[in-house]
Amino acid sequence: MNTDDFLKVSFFKNIKTTLKRCWAPNGICHSKPIKAHSIQNSRVFEILSLNGHVIMPKEKIIHKGEDLIVDFVEIGRNEASTFTGLCGKHDKELFSPIDDFEIDVSNNQQLFLIAYRSVLKKFHSLALTARGTEKIYEDQVKVGRATRDLGDPSLNLMMNQYMLAWAAYRYKEIYDEAYLACQYDIVSHGKFSFKHKKPTVAISALYWLEIAKPNSTQVPWIALNVFPTQTETYVVFSYLVEDAEYVKSEIEGMLNASVKRRLWQLSERIIGLSITHKLGKGEVDYGESTKTGAI
Ligand SMILES: [Zn+2]
């Protein structure tokens, strides 16, 4: 068994027993995870919330379980866009530079941390989905709706979810190592901002492009973060420097477009990520103002 396979087997074994753990970058932390925010609660939600609430996309099962739709619902700002992948100490330690200070979009450490939080959140979400898919598969086997034979569709679905979680875990490891070594420049950022009449939307998302990288089992991932101040909304796409050639068309296409076209494309991307939320294509954490409509 080569090293990569060994790590993969170890990951699959551990993910089952350690989902309720802190995924801080410095090894195993046994502290209980908290509901950590993937969007700045104190600053961004302060600007976006109305009566302590924001609007978020939420999946809704309809037609007796046959269909899934995305609905927009009001949610308390303290509950919005949280994930349980970090303990309180590590959440504070890792993200204090972006939670306790104004974001300066020329500050590489802050931009790295914003993307890092999207990566952690996405990995955690994919791990939960993989585990959930396995439970459903096991139930299907019990009642004879699935088998343990190679090629069984439910088995394939479960394995695909685990492979996605594994890919996200390996991607998270790249960020972990860079964080510990303070090598924030391994991540590049494409960014722009626009003046708004009212702050409307905040996003923390991570998605991947369906592009095979030569000699690699990874795909290029992109973190998308959108956050407002009182007067302006900032949009930041973050990717590994080594992935620059693969993400170029995706990001430059938007950055080189007119402002109107750019915002149109951004809206399409955000809506696309919201709709495919549960289909595994991407993950979006979305805090939209209750004050106004979309951007
Ligand atoms: Zn911890």
pLDDT band at 282 (very low <50, low <70, confident <90, very high): very low
The predicted pLDDT at position 295 comes to: 28
Closest by CA position to 24, among listed 78, 81, 79, 92 = 92
Indicate the pTM of the whole model.
Answer: 0.85
- pLDDT of res. 77: 81
32 C-alpha to ligand 1 centroid (Å):
7
Residue (of 54, 243, 39) closest to 121 by Cα position: 39
Q: How far does the centroid of ligand 1 lie from the alpha carbon of residue 21, in Å?
A: 8
Portion of the chain with pLDDT greater than 90, in percent: 39
Q: Ligand 1 centroid to 133 CA: how many Å?
A: 26
- Report the separation in Å between the CA atom of 31 and the middle of ligand 1, taken as the mean of its atom positions: 5
Per residue in 208-250, pLDDT tens?
Answer: 998 888 888 788 999 999 999 889 999 999 999 999 999 998 8
Predicted pLDDT of residue 215: 80
Taking only the tens place, the pLDDT of each residue in 53-109 is 888 877 777 776 667 777 788 888 877 777 889 999 999 999 999 999 989 999 999
Contact criterion met (CB below 8 Å) for 57 and 95: no
